[in-house]
């Protein structure tokens, strides 16, 4: 069983901090704690992503859903509806959603038990539950999908306080800020709330994709996770973002929009082309998150491809660290070089690719190779990265062309084919040249 946790800080960097004699005991212990947490959650993460690539019947039997968090916990809706500082429109929508959710959920549960139910009002989401084994209406996208959240015109965001616990069973924690509520005193909560909104706005504006599942799935985040926890991650099992406060070297996760873009893209990948989190498909999984994370950052900062720095996690390295970011897509292997956690080990070319058992077959390590290909294609196209290269990568991921066990060469071929469909033969050549430059080439 391979391990998996979608985290922004790679395990090899954490291991470097834990093992470096240049660090004090507190720093080394903090890194060990992060690595230990990763080990605790790896098995269930890997199993989820393995099952996501299985046929619907298999996923249903294992109760694995791609949209299992579509209905906001009623306690959150009630909090929004009752809050004195949430705007009136959002409160009214929450009250309506409470009523509709109860009706639709009741009908859905009765249908699963084989009970006859009355046909709900179409405004409640179009559910036409009949009997178990019968087909429901358009509330489902597949045999394994739960009923969608009815009635909502958009998603809800909510940020919770994990209160420095590392026990995932206590998540999300105590509510700090919800949709329709003004900024609160906790600046980390405000940053997480606002940046989640910016990421989802980017997906909607550029790709017509609604939230993370294209059905306005509501997005939950927890801040202040763990004691000096130097990482941020998307938890696919409970479908939410989790942010640590950082340690002596790495932090500011909620304020880095590319970090949030990266992590939420792991969730989008679940709903487009789930990639096995191991070796080359796992590196592509990380690569896709970096691609959309960097585009969101460039959009927010209004940077064209040739002017952008192409740094992932630029704001995560704290003052005093000898480095500029967690990763460089433009020049993999140059993001940092500090005796307290080592030198950035990412290669930029397939000539340096060597199979490994570390980090799920090097998923964070070898993502630098396709990362540079995307950078090269974006600069060659000119303009903004999301105008052509981003559209090609998005269509590749969302059109069902990427198998769960996809290799670099297969992914390269798929992007070349998509480029030709969208923009013509010259665009296809541009993308092929980018892959050739990083050594991802077809074998004769």
Q: Which residues are catalytic?
A: 263, 364
304 and 349 Cβ atoms separated by less than 8 Å: no
323 and 312 Cβ atoms separated by less than 8 Å: no
Question: Phi and psi at residue 148, in whole multiples of 5°?
Answer: -75, 160
Identify the bridge partners of residue 338 per DSSP, sorted by sequence position.
342
Structure tokens belonging to residue 364: 């964070």
257's CB contacts (< 8 A; 6+ apart) are 195, 198, 199, 296, 297, 300
* Rounded to 5°, angle at Cα 394 from 391 and 396: 110
Task: Say what angle helices 425-437 and 368-381 make with each other, to 10 degrees.
Answer: 140
| Closest among 363, 323, 362, 358 to 344, alpha carbons compared | 323
Measured CA to CA in angstroms, residue 14 lies from 42, 138, 151 at distances of: 16, 46, 44
C-alpha–C-alpha distance, residues 43 and 5, integer Å: 9
| Closest among 284, 49, 17 to 9, alpha carbons compared | 17
- Helix, strand, coil abundance in the chain, percent, nearest 5: 45, 10, 45
Provide the pairing of β-strand 157-161 with 219-225.
parallel
423's CB contacts (< 8 A; 6+ apart) are 388, 392
C-alpha–C-alpha distance, residues 284 and 265, integer Å: 12
In the block, residue with structure tokens 């989008």: 268
Q: Tell which phi-psi region holds residue 390, choosing left (phi > 0), alpha (psi between -120 and 50) or beta.
A: alpha
Structure tokens belonging to residue 160: 């919770």
C-alpha–C-alpha distance, residues 217 and 67, integer Å: 8
Identify the bridge partners of residue 221 per DSSP, sorted by sequence position.
159, 241
296 and 261 Cβ atoms separated by less than 8 Å: yes
| Closest among 218, 264, 235 to 75, alpha carbons compared | 218
Task: Say what angle helices 74-82 and 88-112 make with each other, to 10 degrees.
Answer: 160
């Amino acid at each position: 069983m391979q391990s998996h946790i979608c985290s922004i800080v790679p395990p090899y960097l954490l291991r470097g901090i834990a093992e470096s004699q240049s660090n004090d005991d507190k720093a080394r212990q903090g890194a060990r704690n992060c690595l230990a947490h990763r080990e605790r959650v790896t098995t269930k993460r890997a199993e989820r992503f393995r099952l996501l690539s299985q046929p619907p019947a298999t996923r249903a039997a294992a109760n694995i859903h791609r949209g299992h968090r579509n209905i906001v916990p009623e306690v959150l809706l009630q909090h929004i509806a009752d809050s004195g500082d949430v705007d009136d429109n959002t409160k009214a929508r929450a009250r309506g959603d409470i009523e509709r959710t109860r009706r639709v959920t009741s009908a859905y549960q009765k249908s699963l038990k084989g009970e006859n139910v009355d046909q709900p009002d179409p405004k409640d989401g179009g559910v036409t539950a009949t009997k178990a084994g019968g087909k429901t209406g358009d509330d489902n996208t597949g045999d394994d999908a739960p009923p969608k959240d009815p009635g909502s015109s958009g998603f809800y965001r909510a940020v919770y306080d994990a209160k420095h616990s590392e026990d995932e069973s206590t998540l999300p924690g105590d509510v700090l800020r919800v949709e329709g509520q003004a900024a609160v005193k906790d600046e980390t909560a405000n940053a997480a709330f606002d940046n989640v909104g910016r990421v989802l706005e980017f997906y909607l504006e550029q790709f017509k994709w609604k939230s993370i599942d294209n059905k306005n799935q509501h997005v939950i985040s927890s801040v202040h996770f763990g004691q000096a926890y130097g990482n941020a991650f998307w938890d696919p099992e409970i479908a939410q973002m989790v942010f640590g406060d950082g340690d002596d070297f790495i932090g500011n996760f909620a304020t880095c929009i590319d970090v949030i873009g990266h992590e939420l893209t792991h969730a989008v990948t679940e709903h487009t082309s789930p990639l096995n989190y191991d070796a080359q498909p796992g590196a592509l999984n990380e690569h896709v998150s970096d691609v959309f994370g960097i585009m969101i950052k460039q959009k927010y900062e209004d940077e064209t491809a040739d002017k952008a720095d192409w740094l992932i996690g630029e704001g995560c390295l704290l003052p005093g660290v000898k480095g500029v970011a967690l990763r460089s897509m433009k020049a993999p292997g140059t993001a940092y070089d500090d005796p307290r956690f080592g030198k950035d080990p990412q290669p930029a070319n397939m000539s340096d690719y060597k199979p490994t058992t570390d980090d799920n077959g090097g998923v964070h390590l070898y993502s630098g190779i396709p990362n540079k290909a995307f950078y090269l294609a974006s600069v060659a196209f000119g303009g903004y990265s999301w105008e052509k290269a981003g559209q090609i990568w998005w269509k590749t991921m969302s059109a069902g062309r990427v198998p769960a066990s996809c290799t670099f060469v297969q992914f390269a071929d798929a992007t070349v084919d998509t480029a030709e469909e969208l923009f013509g033969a010259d665009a296809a050549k541009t993308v092929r040249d980018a892959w050739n430059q990083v050594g991802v080439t077809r074998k004769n």
